[in-house]
Amino acid sequence: MIADPCADCRGTGRVRKNLKKTVKIPAGIDNGQSLCLRGMGSAGHRGGQNGDLYVTITVRPHRQFTRKGVDLYLDMPISFTMAALGGSLTVPTLKESVKYQIPAGTQTGSTFRLREQGVQRLNANGKGDLLVTVAIEVPKHLSDEQRRILEQFAETLGEAGEGRTGKKSGFNRASGSKK
């Protein structure tokens, strides 16, 4: 027993205190992974070595991208004309925007892979990929001229104005199920 314990530690030899520390987060770290800060934990007993502090990482969701491992996913709208004719699409990445050539005849749900545009691999060289899934946006409002041009286009496809292509899709319209 200590005859005259100090007021700060009350004879334990340890003082509890809060400390603010700037920590470098490595590129590529993912949700749930931990960083070990050696010697930054609790003080050791009877003058022993300090313990380690483990910090569990929570990655905030990005406003545009979804992350799965080192790959990023992006849903991107394109116009009907770009889907039909093809064209150059400006795609945002983590660093800067890049141009991607959309092929003619692209369908809704098509996914394109932009290599090395994902997240940095943790403790390794290289990056994941950015997978861009396109969705064709159909205009809600058409001018009279745009409507006329689309109606002419529909006639060249043999559409009778009911909004049908005449092709068998394998979908039973009456029951709403696949054949």
- For 58-96, write each residue's pLDDT tens digit: 999 999 999 999 999 999 999 999 999 999 999 999 999
Report the C-alpha gap between 38 and 49 in whole angstroms. Answer: 10
Q: What is the band of 173 on the pLDDT scale with cuts at 50, 70, 90?
A: very low
Report the C-alpha gap between 87 and 99 in whole angstroms. Answer: 10
Query: What is the structure's pLDDT at 73?
Result: 99
Query: What is the structure's pLDDT at 171?
Result: 47
- 125-167 per-position pLDDT tens digit: 999 999 999 999 999 999 999 999 999 999 998 875 555 444 5
Say yes or no to pLDDT of 44 above 80. Answer: no
Q: Where does residue 91 rank: exposed (0-12), middle (13-18), buried (19+ CB within 10 A)?
A: middle
Report the C-alpha gap between 163 and 154 in whole angstroms. Answer: 9
| pLDDT top residue among 175 and 116 | 116
- Number of Cβ within 10 Å of residue 1's Cβ equals 4
Nearest 5°: the CA angle 62, 65, 69 is 95
E strands in the chain: 34-37, 53-56, 66-68, 71-79, 87-91, 98-102, 111-114, 130-137, 171-172, 177-178
Report the C-alpha gap between 66 and 76 in whole angstroms. Answer: 12
Question: Lowest mean pLDDT: which of 19-33, 40-54, 129-143, 158-172?
Answer: 158-172
The answer to whether the beta carbons of residues 32 and 90 sit under 8 Å apart is no
Q: Where does residue 115 rank: exposed (0-12), middle (13-18), buried (19+ CB within 10 A)?
A: exposed
pTM of model > 0.85:
no
Say yes or no to pLDDT of 168 above 60. Answer: no
Q: Which domains are seen in the chain, by residue range?
A: 1-60 (no CATH), 62-138 (2.60.260.20), 142-179 (no CATH)
Query: What is the structure's pLDDT at 167?
Result: 52
Say yes or no to pLDDT of 13 above 70. Answer: no
Question: Dihedral through CA 29, CA 33, CA 35, CA 41, nearest 10?
Answer: 160
Query: What is the structure's pLDDT at 77?
Result: 97
Q: What is the band of 179 on the pLDDT scale with cuts at 50, 70, 90?
A: very low
Mean pLDDT computed over 27-40: 92
Query: What is the structure's pLDDT at 80?
Result: 92
Output the average pLDDT for the chain: 86
User: What does 80-97 look like in DSSP terms, one character per residue?
Assistant: HHHHHH-EEEEE--SSS-
What sign has the CA pseudo-torsion 145, 147, 152, 153?
A: positive
| pLDDT top residue among 34 and 4 | 34
